[in-house]
């Protein structure tokens, strides 16, 4: 059996090597680049045996020796040593063996090499895992759609997995007839499919007073965007004969332990709200409300009630627990703003972002996400000098209302310090504010609805970190 210290390879020489590489203006190479692919694969799959340990020692010795003699190792962009890259010159194992059969995995999984991208908790943020948050790894996403398994989580009393055949949905209150629908009923009705972002009202809450967390996963990861399928709430309210004169608000209620309730004004309820069962082409995931949730485009996630069991039509707001004790925004005068709902225009650069490291000087694609709860993103500007000068980024299509929009802009990093920022504008003309502008009005204790411009500082080593600037 392997003992612990044999499983961890001491790499003092490697560390020394990194420092020297850094000084010479080159970059740290991941240690696995010193090993050939076959050995790397064998170690990953089977761990170390004596033979593989021997190889490792030799590899590191060779790497260190190469360094001391001043030879750069596998520097990208330079000609390879000898005849060329052995990964090209030698036929790889995977190219000369039989691959796996179909349906080895009845439900496909990401490559094992993608395991670093997980939703994660932020230690110390919450004290009970059933009333907690897991953040989506925005730093690794492409485009605008969040993979269902990486959609951020926010539960108030744990998540549940309801048998859809046992699920019931009720509409009552100011309607001609209170009605009960089964999932069969709902899925028989004409459906719509819409792409929308969902952002927790407390996204970026840690940054109100000062910089507190290291990466975009934790600063902005309570954000996801999916295609949702379901029935417009207006269709169902009409089906029950909503009293259009008296109805002013609806209450959405969940079927879980917390029985989450939120008030939604009637104009919005009759506009683009969806009673949804589908997400990204399949049913909702249990963590996201399977089999039924409310989709309230442009509004903070808490109103997107999961495990939706009931809509009540009324003429006054309800001051429910999550709109009268939680999810209220403390202002400097001691008043709390109640029923804050809209997620105002916001953007963030996802690469390069905090905790990442640029590997090389030269060309880089700055990429990020922009969104607005009031409509479409109209423009995104990017600064590399902390907000002194700005250039307008390219918006990738489609640009949809109340949906994430991907932006990209070319950038040549000269190897010097830089501060990257993005600033979005929506089709109402509203411009994403600076953190100081928000603080002047709302102070630093309002927790929710922080849509400030995010700054990422890059040092000479290429290391990116979270900063705030003025």
Partner 1 sequence: MSRLPKMKMLMKVLGALVLASTSLTAIADNHPGIGRAATPKEVAAWDIDVRPDFRGLPKGRGSVDQGQQIWDGKCASCHGTFGESNEVFTPIVGGTTKDDIKNGRVAALSGNSQPQRTTLMKVATVSTLWDYINRAMPWNAPKTLTADEVYAVTAYILNMGGIVADDFVMSDDNIAEVQKRMPNRLGMTEKHGLWQTKGKPDVKNAACMKDCLKEVQITSELPVFARSANGNPAEQNRMVGAVRGVNLNKATVVKVRQPAVDEGLKLAKQYACTACHGIKDKVVGPGFAQIAEKYKGDANAEASLIKKIKLGGSGAWGAIPMPPQGHVKDSEIKTMLDWIMRQ
Selection from 206, 300, 314 nearest residue 250 by Cα: 314
d(CA 315, CA 249): 6
Residues 94-123 that bind partner 1 (CB under 8 A): 113-114, 116-118, 120, 122-123
Read off φ and ψ for residue 181, nearest 5 degrees: -120, 140
Residues with Cβ within 8 Å of residue 244, at least 6 apart in sequence: none
- Supply the minimum distance, in Å, between the C-beta of residue 416 and partner 1: 14
Q: Which of 245, 248, 260 is nearest to 314 (CA)?
A: 248
**164 contributes a contact to partner 1 by CB under 8 A:** no
Question: Could you say whether residue 346 binds partner 1 (CB under 8 A)?
Answer: no
Contacts for 70 with CB less than 8 Å, ≥ 6 apart: none
> Which listed range, 40-48, 93-101, 222-230, 279-287, lies at the site for partner 1 (CB under 8 A)?
40-48
Q: What residues does 247 pair with on adjacent strands?
A: none
The angle at the Cα of 377, spanning 371 to 379, to the nearest 5 degrees, equals 120
Compute the distance between CA of residue 249 and CA of residue 317 in angstroms, rounded to an integer: 6
We find the least distance from the C-beta atom of residue 154 to partner 1, in angstroms, to be 15
Segment contacting partner 1 (CB under 8 A): 63-71, 89-97, 178-186, 283-291? 178-186
* Closest distance to partner 1 from the beta carbon of 339 (Å): 5
**What string marks each residue from 390 to 429 as x (binds partner 1 by CB under 8 A) or -?**
xx---------------------------x---x-x----
Task: Using the rule CB under 8 A, give the single segment among 67-75, 78-86, 98-106, 341-349 that binds partner 1.
Answer: 341-349
Q: Give the residue with the Cβ less far from partner 1, 2 or 281.
A: 2
Residues within window 422-461 making contact with partner 1, judged by CB under 8 A: 423, 425, 430-434, 437-438, 440-442, 449, 457
φ and ψ at residue 378, rounded to 5 degrees: -95, -35
Q: Which of 386, 396, 415, 427 binds partner 1 (CB under 8 A)?
A: 386
Q: Tell me the closest approach of the beta carbon of residue 430 to partner 1, in angstroms.
A: 5
338 forms part of the interface with partner 1 (CB under 8 A): yes
CA–CA gap between residue 164 and residue 455 (Å, rounded): 44
Question: Which of the stretches 65-73, 92-100, 132-140, 222-230 binds partner 1 when contact is defined by CB under 8 A?
Answer: 132-140
For partner 1, the closer of residues 288 and 343 by Cβ is 343
User: Please, what is the angle between helix 50-68 and helix 37-46, to 10°?
Assistant: 140
At residue 351's C-alpha, the angle toward residues 195 and 129, to 5°, is: 65
What is the contact mask toward partner 1 in residues 230 to 269, using x (rule: CB under 8 A)?
-----x--xxx----------x-x---xxx-x---x-xx-
Encoding tokens for residue 234? 């207006």
Residues 292-311 close enough to bind partner 1 by CB under 8 A: 298, 309-310
Residues numbered 142 to 161 that lie near partner 1 (CB under 8 A) are 156-157
Min dist. Cβ of residue 71 to partner 1 (A) = 21
Q: Which of 43, 73, 162, 192 binds partner 1 (CB under 8 A)?
A: 43
Helix axes 50-68, 12-23, angle to 10 degrees: 30
Separation CA 145–CA 405 (nearest Å): 10
Residue 255 to residue 183: CA distance in whole angstroms: 14
Decide: is 203 part of the binding site for partner 1 (CB under 8 A). Answer: no
Q: Is 278 strand, coil or helix?
A: strand
CB 450, min distance to partner 1, A: 11
Which of 3, 12, 165, 397 binds partner 1 (CB under 8 A)? It is: 12
- Does 66 bind partner 1 (CB under 8 A)? Our answer is no
Nearest CB to partner 1, comparing residues 148 and 157 = 157
- Minimum distance from CB of 149 to partner 1 (Å)? 16
| Candidate segments 66-74, 84-92, 94-102, 134-142, binder of partner 1 by CB under 8 A | 134-142
Per-residue string for binding with partner 1, 204-233, x by CB under 8 A?
Answer: ------xxxxxx-xx---------------
Residue 252 token pair: 């959405």
Cβ proximity to partner 1: between 280 and 351 the closer is 351
Distance between CA atoms of 136 and 149, rounded to whole angstroms?
9
* CA angle centred on 453, ends 448 and 459, rounded to 5°: 125
Nearer to partner 1, 164 or 355 (CB): 355
The answer to whether the peptide bond before residue 258 is cis (omega within 30 degrees of 0) is no
The number of beta carbons lying within 10 Å of the beta carbon of residue 97 is: 7
> Is there a cis peptide before residue 291, judged by omega within 30 degrees of 0?
yes
The DSSP symbol for 175 reads: B
Say whether residue 381 binds partner 1 (CB under 8 A).
yes
| CB 98 to partner 1: min, Å | 21
CB 43 within 8 A of CB 37: no
Using the rule CB under 8 A, which residue among 21, 31, 160, 192 binds partner 1? 31
Pairing mode, if any, of strands 192-199 and 223-232? antiparallel
């Amino acid at each position: 059996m392997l003992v612990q210290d044999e499983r961890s390879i001491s790499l003092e020489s490697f560390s020394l090597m990194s420092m020297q590489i850094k000084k010479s203006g080159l970059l740290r190479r991941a240690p696995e680049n010193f090993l050939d692919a076959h050995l790397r694969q064998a170690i990953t799959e089977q761990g170390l045996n004596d033979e593989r340990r021997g190889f490792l020692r030799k590899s590191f010795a060779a790497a260190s020796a190469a360094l001391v003699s001043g030879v750069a190792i596998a520097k990208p962009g330079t000609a390879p040593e000898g005849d060329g890259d052995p990964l090209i010159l030698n036929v790889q194992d995977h190219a000369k063996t039989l691959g796996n059969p179909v349906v080895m995995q009845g439900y496909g999984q990401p490559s094992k090499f993608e395991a670093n991208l997980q939703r994660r908790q932020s230690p110390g943020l919450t004290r009970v895992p059933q009333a907690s948050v897991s953040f989506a790894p925005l730093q690794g996403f492409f485009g605008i759609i969040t993979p269902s398994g990486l959609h951020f989580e926010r539960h108030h009393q744990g998540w549940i997995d309801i048998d859809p055949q046992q699920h019931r949905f009720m509409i009552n209150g100011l309607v001609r007839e209170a009605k009960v629908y089964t999932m069969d009923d709902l899925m028989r009705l004409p459906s719509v499919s819409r792409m929308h972002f969902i952002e927790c009202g407390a996204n970026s809450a840690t940054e109100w007073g000062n910089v507190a967390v290291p990466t975009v996963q934790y600063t902005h990861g309570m954000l996801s965007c999916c295609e949702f399928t379901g029935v417009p709430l207006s269709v169902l309210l009409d089906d029950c004969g909503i009293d259009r004169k008296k109805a002013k608000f609806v209450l959405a209620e969940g079927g879980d332990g917390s029985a989450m309730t939120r008030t939604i004004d009637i104009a919005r309820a009759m506009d683009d709200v969806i009673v949804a069962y589908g997400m990204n082409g399949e049913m909702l995931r249990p963590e996201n409300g399977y089999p039924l949730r409310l989709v309230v485009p442009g509004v903070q996630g808490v109103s997107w009630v999961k495990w939706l069991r009931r809509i009540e039509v009324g003429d006054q707001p309800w001051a429910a627990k999550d709109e009268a004790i939680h999810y209220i925004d403390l202002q400097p005068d001691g008043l709390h703003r109640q029923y804050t709902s809209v997620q105002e225009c916001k953007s963030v650069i996802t690469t390069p972002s905090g905790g990442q490291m640029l590997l090389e000087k030269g060309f880089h694609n700055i990429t990020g996400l922009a969104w607005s709860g009031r409509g479409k993103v109209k423009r995104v500007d990017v600064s590399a000098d902390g907000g002194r000068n700005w250039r307008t980024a390219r918006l990738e299509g489609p640009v949809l209302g109340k949906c994430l929009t991907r932006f990209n802009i070319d950038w040549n990093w000269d190897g010097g310090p830089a501060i990257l920022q993005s600033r979005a504008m929506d089709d109402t003309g509203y411009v994403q504010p600076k953190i100081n502008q928000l603080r002047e009005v709302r102070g630093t204790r309002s927790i929710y609805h922080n849509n400030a411009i995010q700054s990422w500082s890059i040092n000479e080593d290429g290391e990116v970190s979270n900063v705030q600037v003025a």
